[in-house]
Amino acid sequence: MDLKGGTARDQFVLKICKANGIPVQCSMGGGYSQDIKTMVEAHANTYRLAQEIYF
């Protein structure tokens, strides 16, 4: 699983939403990797990035 691609996507979307005053709600979906640590890291990265952009 490419965590960099997901992070780039999240950053793009979150920055545009913030710049345009669009509310965001994040819900994590299913897994895309057999490695649970990879999935936890991917989901946690979304929230870390949101915190960095919004606070």
What pLDDT shows up at residue 36? 87
Q: Over the stretch 9-42, which tens digit does the pLDDT of each residue have?
A: 999 999 999 999 999 999 887 667 788 898 889 8
Range of the domain at 46: 3-54
Q: How many separate domains does the chain show?
A: 1
What pLDDT shows up at residue 35? 87
Strongest mean pLDDT among 4-8, 29-33, 47-51: 47-51
Query: How many whole angstroms separate alpha carbon 17 and alpha carbon 13?
Result: 6
Residue 52 or residue 35, greater confidence: 52
Query: How many whole angstroms separate alpha carbon 37 and alpha carbon 1?
Result: 11
pLDDT of 1 higher than 70: no
